[in-house]
Amino acid sequence: MRDPLWITESFRWCVEVLRVAAAHLGITYEAINIYLFVIIWPLLSVASVVLHVRQWRELRRWRRGASGRG
């Protein structure tokens, strides 16, 4: 099954952006892939979950205090 044209073109555009960024940073395309998708993205995902849980707990505490059940 072939991918729609927009998927193929989007992928090619993203690869080109990474190649240009790698050239400007003086690193290889493979290295920028590792930094982005093995290191940075997972760290941001974990940080997002941690912040979400902290905010959820804070909101829960605030609601309990506001309702007088405290």
Task: Give the number of domains in the chain.
Answer: 1
49 pLDDT band (50/70/90 cuts)?
very high
Distance set, CA 21 to CA 4, 27, 70 (Å): 26, 9, 52
Tell me how crowded residue 32 is: count the other CB atoms within 10 A of its CB.
20
Q: Which domain holds residue 28?
A: 5-66
pLDDT of residue 31 exceeding 70: yes
69 pLDDT band (50/70/90 cuts)?
low
Q: What is the pLDDT of residue 67?
A: 75
Q: What is the CA radius of gyration of the chain?
A: 21
Q: Distance (Å, rounded) from C-alpha 34 to C-alpha 2?
A: 27
